[in-house]
Chain A
Amino acid sequence: MLELADGGSSSLLTWMTFFPLLGAVVISLLPSRNQNLHRWTALGFSLVPLVLAVKLFMVFDRSTSDVQLWTQVDWIRTFHIQYFVGVDGISVTMVLLTALLCAVCVVASWGIQRATKGYFALFLLLETGMMGVFVSLDFFLFYVFWEVMLLPMYFLIGVWGGPRKEYAAIKFFLYTLAGSVLMLLVMIALYFNVNDPSTGGHTFNMLHMMAQANHGEWLLDPTIRHILFLGLFIGFAIKVPIVPFHTWLPDAHVEAPTAVSVILAGVLLKMGTYGILRICYPILPDAAAWFAYPLAILGAVNIIYGAMCAMAQTDMKKLVAYSSVSHMGYVLLGMAVFNEAGITGAVLQMFNHGTITAMLFLMVGVIYDRAHHREINGFGGLGTSMPKYTTVFSLALFAALGLPGLSGFVGEALVFVGAFEVYRVVTIVSVLGIILGAAYVLWMLQRVFLGPLNEKYADTPDINRRELITVLPIAALVIFLGVFPPPIINMIKVSLLNLIAQIPG
């Protein structure tokens, strides 16, 4: 059960959420000719949330599971809708991740030439949408942000994307929308069946929904609860994406520009698992327990199936996209066990996958900008001509295969440690993922960077300073959190322990 921290009211999150929106408005008012002005303005407006994120990191109270830095005001009084935002341990890392990746992605978008004004305005709007999703504590508000984020994403893929951008954009949009419809239905069902303890009326307040005492009679029927859980779950599963709802992901990634891929894999996928942790689990904890075993199996399927598909890809971006499917499987597996190691590992993996996959997509973007293709078999021996690039990319790849000392390992290991206690066979199957992960990562490394140099790319310039600026901060974080994970673990653990305490059995 989640409560508001006393005296924790703050406007910090509101600033973080809406500052980018302000930026979007400002950019849309700028003259459309001056592209550099758009870039720098966007950078400025995305750096502010990053600075605020640093402040958030510092002021966040790690000793409590209460909601902190909250703001609660009435929005649409008739329907008991509030502007209600705040963070706890489950959401705070996602907010930090969003702020970081958005700032990085603005720099990574420097090379965008076409309609920069629209691009950066939409990008900042996207940031507002994502931020809003992670801070909302009112279900209606959450839903609004969820949809707000969809629209700029659709245009960013559909306008600035690759050859099959329309197909990819529409697929992404409709798929997510289908999920949102289910979410909408469940949201309305909850609205009518949860009572606000202070007024006795209906409510969208998630905290009220989480308090089981506020649930109306209709909501007490286990069958109803399971159906509601599944409705929400499928909506979120599409976002994660859980196999078999994942096929929008490779298409969207392949067509999206680099920075959008980074956001897509780094932040958007986390909304799915975040939604499950924020909404499904605490509101319907008994259904969560009932659904745990299938969820663990889905996690294992994601891990193995994603890795196998990754190995068969010849397009670097598709390979990375499928590796995301595989890595999100670790998150699912960890979430399916309600013990300390498992669930902490899952949330840690959410954060770390965000940074690692961002590195991977940034690195693929670097070579794509130079070679204008991403065929794994079309390169070879780049280690000779681009040594720095090879080093950084290798670091990202080793992080992706879960090398100890880099951040990906801690989450993975915790997930396995936690999961093995509960589901032996499923975990053993999942651990096979570490072999498959090594196989697809190293095979790609071999084909692209090792072996004799492909003469076509003998004169390809090595990674440049701007590209290094985008990737090095993330790389530093990946190494730092691999060696010393407590800064993240300590932020999330109290809330997660509180969460698993709610779940029966």
Chain B
Amino acid sequence: MDPILSSALAILFLPLLSYLLLFFAGERLPGRGAWFAVAIMGAALVLALGIFARFWALADPSASYEVSWNWFRIGAFHVDLGLLVDGMTSVMLVVVTLVSFLVHLFSTGYMQGDPRYSRYFGFLGWFTFSMLGIVLSNSVFFLYIFWELVGVASYVLIGFFFHKPSAAHANKKAFIVNRVGDFGFFIGILMFFTAIGSFHYSDLFAGVEAGVISGSALTWAGILLFMGCVGKSAQMPLHIWLPNAMEGPTPVSALIHAATMVAAGVYMTARLFPLFDPAALQFIAYTGAITAFLAATIAIVQTDIKRGLAYSTISQLGYMVTAVGVGGVAAGMFHLTTHAFFKACLFLGSGAVIHAMHHEQDMRKMGGLRHKMPITFTAFLMSTIAISGVPPFAGFWSKDAILGSALAYGMLHPGNYLPFVLTLAAAAITAFYMFRIVFLTFMGEPRDQHAYDHAHEVDWRMASPLIVLGTLAVIGGGIPGIGLSWFDRFVVDPGESDQIATEQMIDAPHQTLEAHRAPGEAYDEDIRLPETQSAHSAEPENHDLEHIVHVAHRRAMFLSLFAAGLGILLSWLTYQRRIIRSDRVLEALPGVHRWLWNKYYFDEVYNAVIVRGVLRLNRAAATFDKVVVDGIVNSAGYLTRGAAWLSGSADRYVVDGMVNATADILRSLGAVAQSVQTGRVQNYFLGLVSGLVVLILVYRTMWMS
């Protein structure tokens, strides 16, 4: 096994080790085990950075290493488990282990004093293990396994404060809504497996490429597969669980519900990109764009700092999904990476604020905190600038890449400008609501003096993750003049040019062979598939395409800069200078505010229609079971008993009656016979003779006939 693979394996199992250690022995460990968990996660991070460095040096997005083990085999059917490490994986490994490590560190301070302190770190380890499984798996079956496991980690961590009824409701909701997505995901997997006969990514890509599954079946399979992403990455209409998920401890929100797990859907869609045909991709692009826009609008009116960030996360995930949908896989993955930095920083920052404010989450009671918490403020501000798309901060590069791809998509597919328009609008809104949060929380005057007086800057355990993530929010997208577009070394767009798309699709299985090949073995050129045109962007010629993409990106950059500036300006005017009076605006637009405040009534409609409908259906089923099905059984029982009673009665009165009657008749016959028994011989003789005559007559008659 290549050292890259063995170190990937170690990265995968280190967090599991942390889980087992903390779960079974946590309470007995010094400091109740948290530092063991931090150390283990640090080791995983170091290993991940090693792999990252290797791919950085390689600078070949199509290089990949793969290994599989047979899990079980039944005749011809078999399920394999395996790892796939390529550029995309190496980035994700760093993102996951880095954020996890920092969240572990942050939590040592944030969760101090919690009675289930070591259990908490155990669950974090469990989550990290499962998340790394998603990142590393090389087959959809294996992916699905870890996909469910992160769901459980999310479940227990959202419900970590399970004595709160809201938390107890939120984790159930999260899991079930995710299962709705998984329903589609699983059927999508089944469709691909049934058509192609393998769970392996590379086999699936080859199968789609060869046209084994095509037409509407391919479209449907793709859309169903994407449903998994809709659930996990909280896309509309299954986004409703993520705001509730904020019931979990804030570091958990940063790790799971902002930086990593919710991005798993995007990762999956990007990873399985070759399985989506243009129609499915269009569906994906629109879903993402609508989500990005609607969630951003909801974020405007949130008063709870975490809820505001949660809707922001949904919106940003919408960006990433849009990116994949319009063919900008690299842009989507790039945004996933930068978003992990700045959104984790925002959440940890909000955690620091909540911690300092004694678990106050209402922004209307905050204000002026920049004086009390300079480090937190700086990190939060850096991240806000980043998410708003101000150059040269990290978010600018990735968001710009997405907007460029979306515009190019609109130019290449006439009539499909909506993804671009919606994401552009969302960009302005994002800048607006994010600065609103900054202004409300950190600027202005304190609105709750008591809480403000008690507020304090966090200690180093919580401050250092903020500093690291805040720094990455600034430089994570690249440093002008030094390392711009570093991401190209790891992931490239399959849609950008036919050449790359085809190469990437073919090279996945190809590189596998290479990784397994013994050194010096001859390279068989014949396995390389003919480099025909990709299925995904067939229409225009290479040259024109490049030109259009280039133009789109230039235009998009100006527009996105304008959008960000506009959003920040309006926010400043509204919440800092208060030239625009937000209450007046709300009064002027009562309908809009009501819709936003009620989050477009998704929850209400689901409750009224689906939840209540299902519950009613369940009760109907149970009643049917009790009354009809069991009723028939019981009636059969009663009928039998009735019949038994009848036959019993019949027995007593009819059968027994007949027996008795016979006896009676015999007795009376006996009486008659007695009267015949006269004692006279001649009478007997007469009887004998007449009887004989009768017998002879009967005999004769019968014999004659």
A residues engaging B (CB < 8 A)?
171, 174-175, 243-244, 246-248, 305, 308-309, 311-313, 339-341, 344, 381, 383-384, 398, 403-405, 409, 413-414, 416-417, 420-421, 427-428, 431-432, 434-435, 438-439, 442-443, 445-446, 449-453, 485-486, 489-490, 493, 496-497
Contact = CB atoms under 8 A, between A and B. Distances in A.
Interface in B58-83: 71-72, 74-77
B294 to A, nearest CB: 24
Given A403-B152, A434-B183, A446 B163 contact: no
Contacts of B618: 308-309, 311-312
B621 A308 contact: yes
B165 interface: yes
Contacts, number: 130
Contact of A446 (B141, B149, B168): B168
Contacts of B187: 420, 428, 431
A174 B172 CA distance: 41
B470 interface: no
B172 A443 contact: yes
B630 A247 contact: yes
Given A309-B622, A416-B186, A417-B190, A451 B163 contact: yes
Interface in B99-146: 141, 144-146
B209 to A, nearest CB: 22
30 contacts: A171-B633, A174-B637, A243-B629, A244-B629, A247-B629, A305-B625, A309-B621, A311-B615, A312-B622, A340-B75, A381-B162, A383-B162, A403-B148, A403-B152, A404-B144, A409-B145, A409-B148, A417-B193, A420-B191, A420-B194, A435-B179, A446-B169, A446-B172, A450-B162, A450-B167, A451-B165, A452-B163, A486-B72, A489-B72, A496-B74
A486 B162 CA distance: 37
Nearest to A318: B622
B625 A438 contact: no
Interface string B626-638: 0001101100010
Nearest to A341: B77
B234 to A, nearest CB: 17
Given A403-B148, A416-B190, A312 B76 contact: no
A497 B617 contact: no
A381 to B, nearest CB: 6
Interface string B594-627: 0000000000000000000011011101100100
B182 interface: yes
Given A311-B615, A427-B190, 15 more contacts: A171-B637, A243-B629, A340-B77, A404-B144, A405-B145, A409-B148, A414-B74, A442-B171, A442-B176, A449-B162, A450-B171, A451-B164, A485-B71, A493-B75, A497-B75
B180 interface: yes
Nearest to B184: A431
A398 B152 contact: yes
Contacts of B148: 403-405, 409
A246 B141 CA distance: 34
B409 interface: no
B155 to A, nearest CB: 8
Contacts of A421: 194
Task: Categorize the interface residue count of chain B.
Answer: 35 or more
A177 to B, nearest CB: 12
A405 B632 CA distance: 41
A457 to B, nearest CB: 14
Contacts of A417: 77, 190, 193
B613 to A, nearest CB: 12
B175 interface: yes
Contacts of B614: 311, 439
Given A405-B145, A434-B182, A450-B168, A308 B162 contact: no
Contacts of B494: none
A15 to B, nearest CB: 31
B248 interface: no
Nearest to B629: A244
A428 B187 CA distance: 7
Nearest to A493: B74
